Every structure is written in C-alpha cells, then in structure tokens.
Structure 1
Amino acid sequence: MKTVGELRALGWASHDALRDDMPVTAFRLDGDKGPEYWMGLKNFYAITRYNRSVMYAMAVHQLSEMLVQARDVK
C-alpha cells in the first residue's frame, strides 16, 4: 500500500482532491481504450476484504455511481 503523495511523485493524478498522506491501493485495469490506472481508497480496501476480486470492487463502485446519478436526476 502506498500514499497518494507517493503516487503523485511517480506522476499519478487524481480526479478528486485527495490528501497526500491518504493510504491507497494502486491497480491497473484493461479498458476499452487501453490500460486504466486507479487508486483504491479505504472503501476499496473494505470491499476487497469481503471479496478479493478487483472487478467485483469496480462493479460496486460503478453501481454506486449510477445510484448517485439516478438520485441527482430526480
């Protein structure tokens, strides 16, 4: 496990404002347009403790994003 600051020092960037001292898990997925690099935060860690599959954790993330979008449309 690394910190956001360590990944930033390696050239990583995030879409959200994250503190440099936050612990993260770095991982890579094969996307439609090539590799995608992600930072997993504490919720990612909690989900992968239940089910070790990164794909499962991403499905949970995508479902949560869809629920937020559906809520915001109302």
Structure 2
Amino acid sequence: MNISIRPEAESDFRDVENVTREAFWDLYKPGCVEHLVLHHMRGSPDFVKEMDYVACDGNMIVGNIVFKSKSDQ
C-alpha cells in the first residue's frame, strides 16, 4: 500500500461520498447519513476548502478528512 494525501478536487466528490457511505453503512444503525452530512457540509459557508483532503492508494480514494469552522449560531 502506497498512501498519498492531496487536496480533494470537485471531481472526487462522488467517490469520497461513496467511500464514506461504505465506511459507515449499518455500523451504528441501519443505513447511514454520514455521506449526506459530508455532501451538505461542502455547501456550508463554514466549510474550509483549504482543509479538505483525500487519502489515495494509487489512484483509488481510500479516505478523507474535512473541516468546518465553528459557526456563531
């Protein structure tokens, strides 16, 4: 395994959401919502794009990390 980390590109969104869904599916309860949370986070004004990364094994995305700043609300 040769893991590299790079910024997430818009073209990665679907793959990252699929990886997230597969990671959490039926883990804590039937189904999952984590991939939807990620999808909606990207549209939030608090989403920090500069801290949005994917981990890749070759060309395959195997993980990601995102950051949302604290909202005043």
Give the TM-score normalised by structure 2: 0.31
| Larger RCO (CA under 8 A, 6+ residues apart) | 2
Please say which structure displays the higher CA radius of gyration. Answer: 1
- Structure with greater helix percent: 1
